[in-house]
Amino acid sequence: MRCHNGRVAEDGRLVLAGAPIGQAGDVSPRLREVLGSADVVAAEDTRRLRRLAAELGVELTGRVVSYYDQNEAGRAQELLETLKQGRTVVIITDAGMPGVSDPGYRLTRLAVEAGITVTALPGPSAVTTALAVSGLASDRFCFEGFPPRKAGDRARRLAALAAEERTMVFFEAPHRLADSLAAMAEAFGAGREAAVCRELTKTYEEVRRGGLGELAEWAAAGVKGEITIVVAGHVPGTDEPDLDELVAEVDRRVAEGTQRKLAIADVAKVAGIPKRELYDLVHKRL
């Protein structure tokens, strides 16, 4: 038993178990062992847990309970009582590490405050995997989670990150990818280097690299799967759009049949500059 802030806690143990992000073969022998021996396994999706256990040949001998966003607050209190009884509780989410844009933080915080041992079984992470394969600087980075869903909130959040010099990693839902990339192009500049990592470690893994403006246009056709976005950090003096290139892009679209006014509006939006500024520049060069 241990004392913490004047309180006594039993020798329970909370284990945060990193789950594979695509391939069951990526799990560690320790994860197999702990899943088979834990008193309670709290899973984001109990059906997916049972499928994973079957693939690994692991018999779940402990109690299996659901632990997801909608029931996390109440279930955390229940699991804390189990920990105080000296039991081992494992949290496992659908993929990656619990607590990183997934359920797990609330119970971890309660366990820490109660003086209960918290440990982790490290495993595959979409954050570090995407960062590694992106080809962008990885010596300093920050994880920004999911951008806000509402356009206004998203624009404000991204504007606040425009001067961030570290490489940034985001998660995004596939149906919001094009809008988020376009918003990033507007906030950071269309030429800012980025990588969209789709279905990492899975059969149809794809890493698409390029400027944010180019990636936004690519995503507009529709993208499926689990998405992680890696964006290069700001380098002072390098994010200003090349106006000659923007005019050339307008000319290219007009030559392909797009109306000049629409071409100017689209290019200005992707480049993140006022439409009127590009309009004046284009017409001065006609």
Q: In the prediction, which pLDDT does 239 show?
A: 58
Number of Cβ within 10 Å of residue 95's Cβ equals 20
Domain stops at, among 58, 91, 124: 124
Q: Note whether 25 and 55 are same-domain residues.
A: yes
Q: Note whether 181 and 255 are same-domain residues.
A: no
- Listed in order, strand segments (DSSP E) in the chain are 2-4, 7-9, 13-17, 40-43, 63-66, 88-92, 117-121, 141-145, 167-172, 193-198, 206-211, 227-231
| Closest C-alpha to 184, from 139, 137, 217 | 217
Residue 175 is assigned to a structural domain of this protein:
yes
Residue 238 is assigned to a structural domain of this protein:
no
End-to-end CA distance of the chain: 81
Based on DSSP, count helices (H) and strands (E) in the chain, helices before strands: 11, 12
Q: In the prediction, which pLDDT does 266 show?
A: 83
What CATH number corresponds to the domain at position 29? 3.40.1010.10
Q: Note whether 11 and 116 are same-domain residues.
A: yes
Q: Tell me the backbone φ, ψ of residue 243, rounded to 5 degrees.
A: -65, -35
- Print burial letters for 128-150: b (CB count within 10 Å at least 16), e (below 16): ebbbebbebbeeebebbeebeee
Q: Note whether 116 and 149 are same-domain residues.
A: no
Q: Note whether 192 and 96 are same-domain residues.
A: no
Q: In the prediction, which pLDDT does 230 show?
A: 98
**Number of domains, the chain:** 3
Residue 57 is assigned to a structural domain of this protein:
yes
| Closest C-alpha to 231, from 128, 142, 139 | 142
Q: In the prediction, which pLDDT does 3 show?
A: 45
Q: In the prediction, which pLDDT does 245 show?
A: 81
Each residue's pLDDT expressed in tens, for the chain with a length of 286 residues: 444 444 444 579 999 999 999 998 899 899 999 999 999 999 999 999 999 999 999 999 999 999 999 999 899 999 999 999 999 999 999 999 999 888 999 999 999 999 999 999 998 899 999 999 999 999 999 999 999 999 999 999 999 999 899 999 999 999 999 999 999 998 998 889 999 999 999 999 999 999 999 999 999 999 999 999 999 999 876 656 677 888 888 998 999 999 999 999 888 877 767 788 888 888 887 7
Domain that holds residue 225: 141-231
Domain stops at, among 70, 92, 124: 124
Domain stops at, among 124, 151, 181: 124
